[in-house]
Amino acid sequence: CHMDRVTNYCVTYGTSGCVKCMDGYYVSKDGTCQPCNKKCTACVGEEYMCTDCINGTYLDGHSCKTRFE
Alpha-carbon distance of 48 to 64, in angstroms, equals 9
Amino acid at 44: V
- Give the residue, 3 or 64, on which the prediction is more confident: 64
- The string of pLDDT tens digits covering residues 15-48 is 989 999 999 999 999 999 999 999 999 999 999 9
pTM of the predicted protein model: 0.79
Strand partners, 14: 17
End-to-end CA distance of the chain: 45
Residue 2 clears pLDDT 60, i.e. is over it? no
pLDDT the model gives residue 7: 59
Q: What integer is the mean pLDDT of 40-68?
A: 95
CB-CB neighbours of 50 under 10 Å: 25
